Structure formats: structure tokens, C-alpha cells
Structure 1
Amino acid sequence: MAKAASLQPLIDLMQDRVDDATRALGALVSAEQDAKSKLQLLVQYREEYVARFHDAGTQGVSLAVWRNYQVFIDRIDQAIAQQRAAVAASELRTAEGQAEWLHQRNKLKAIDTLFHKRQEGERLVENKRDQKFQDEFAARRFKPE
């Protein structure tokens, strides 16, 4: 089993890489969710502000107040656009993190499969050796003298 055991440090290293990729992916997913939450809050805030603007407009507002509402809504729209770009960038980073995690996991699976194949091969060789020993022992034991 020495050949199969020689792969164990590599398996441990690959498992560490998979664990690191898993943690990194978790952080990326969390950051993406945060970015989406911020976007949702901005959109909700805009809707509420527009509703207030509409309510104020029905009661009559001065041109200066109307202009201030418009300027503020434009700023919210800019913030929403920036946050949408941040969400898109975050989604891209998450997809890249997912691809890296998958890559590391597949490498670990390949090495693990090789390890198990080597273990099975070594077990078969050992079984054949044991069977040969037992056959020789049985042949000597029952051999007429």
C-alpha cells in the first residue's frame, strides 16, 4: 500500500485547496447578496421618494421644490445604476469563484479516484500473494513424503 499512501499528501493538499475555494466562494456569494440587497433598498427608496414627490405635486409645489425633487431622483437613479454595475461585477466574481471551486473539486476527485484505484490494485496484489502463500503452505502440508 506504499504507492497509494504516497498520494495522501497530495490529496491533503488538494482538500485544503478545495476548502479554501469553498470559503472564498462563500464570501463571494455573501458579497453578491449584499450588493443585491443594497440595490433593492435603493430601488425601494426611489419608489418611496417618487410617491412622496407625486403626493406633493398633487398639492402644488413651487418650481424650486419640484426641481430639487428632480435633482434628487436623478442622483438616486445614478446610485442605482452604479449599484447595478456593482451587482453585475459581483455576479461575475461569484461565477469565477464557482468555476475555481469546481476546478479544485474536480482535481481532488481525480486524485482521489487514482488513490482508490491504486489501493485496489495493491489489495489485489496482496491477495494474490497471500493466496499463493496459502497454496504453497497447503501443498507442503499435504505433500506425501
Structure 2
Amino acid sequence: MTRSERLQPAVDQAERREQEALQRLAEQQQRSAYVQQQLDELERYRKEYSLSAGGLTVSALLNRQQFVERIDQAIVQQRREVERQQHLTETTRLQWLQAHAREKALDSVVGRYRTLERQSEQRQEQADIDERMQQRRRPAAST
């Protein structure tokens, strides 16, 4: 068994791990985008709600102010969640980059081994051809 054949299972495993890491990254990016979208919606709602004030009683104004404060609290919490998801996305991206680099490195090593093995085969074939050619010449030279 050649060195490239012995390393192939490691390359296959590295490829699987890279694909799994890429899948996790895609899922994390979707979660991060969803959380950001929720924050955008909260901020848009807060802005629209603030602009629609007009002609309210004192009681209604106090209720409105309390509601706006709750929206503001939700926005603060959502911003924290956006930051957390962005951090997780970056961590997941770095994990994928590591898996990708490992897969590429192993693939490169196996590629070099295959090239060396092909060159060795070609040299052996050429040596065999040269030997056969010399064997053909010898009987002709002895006559």
C-alpha cells in the first residue's frame, strides 16, 4: 500500500469534518441574521410607535411611556443577543477555517505523494524498457 493510499482515510475524514464545519457555519450565519432581523423590527416598531403620539390623556401617555420603556428594554436585550450570535458566528467561522486548512494540507501532502509515486513508476517503467532494449541488442551483437 502506497503512502498516498495510507493517508487517504485521513483526507476523507478531514473532508467530512470540513463539510460539517461549513454546515455549522451556514446554520450559525442564519441564526445570526434572524436575530439581527428581529432587532431591526423592534427598532422600526419603536420608531413608528414614537412618531404616532398625539392627543393622549395623561393616563394614556403614562401607559405609552411604560410601553416604550419595555420596547427599549427588549431592544437592549436583542442587541446583546445579536452580539452573542455574532461572536458565535466568528468562532464557528474560525473552526471552519481550521478544518479547511487541515483538509487542504492533507490533500496537498497526498497530492505530492501521488506525484512522487507516479514519477517513481515512470522511472521504473523506463528502466524496464531500457533493460529490455539492452537484452535485445546483446544477442544481435554476439552474432
TM-score, normalising length: structure 1: 0.94
Q: Does 1:95 align with 2:90?
A: yes
| Equivalent position of 2:111 in the other structure | 116
Task: Say which SS state the counterpart of residue 115 (structure 1) adopts.
Answer: helix
| Equivalent position of 1:71 in the other structure | 66
The residue identity in structure 1 corresponding to 2:127 is: K
Q: Give RMSD over aligned pairs.
A: 0.9
The residue identity in structure 1 corresponding to 2:81 is: A
Unaligned runs of 5+ in 2: none
Cα deviation per residue 1:34-53 (whole Å; 9 max; x = unaligned)?
00000011001101110112
- Which runs of structure 1 show a deviation greater than 3 angstroms over 4 or more consecutive aligned residues? none
Unaligned runs of 5+ in 1: none
| Equivalent position of 1:50 in the other structure | 50
Could you tell me how far apart the structure 2 residues matched to 1:79 and 1:42 are? Answer: 8
Could you tell me how far apart the structure 2 residues matched to 1:117 and 1:20 are? Answer: 26
CA deviation after TM superposition for structure 1 residue 7, in Å: 1.0
| Equivalent position of 1:128 in the other structure | 123
Could you tell me how far apart the structure 2 residues matched to 1:89 and 1:99 are? Answer: 15
Work out the number of aligned pairs and report it.
Answer: 140
Percent of pairs with identical residues: 29
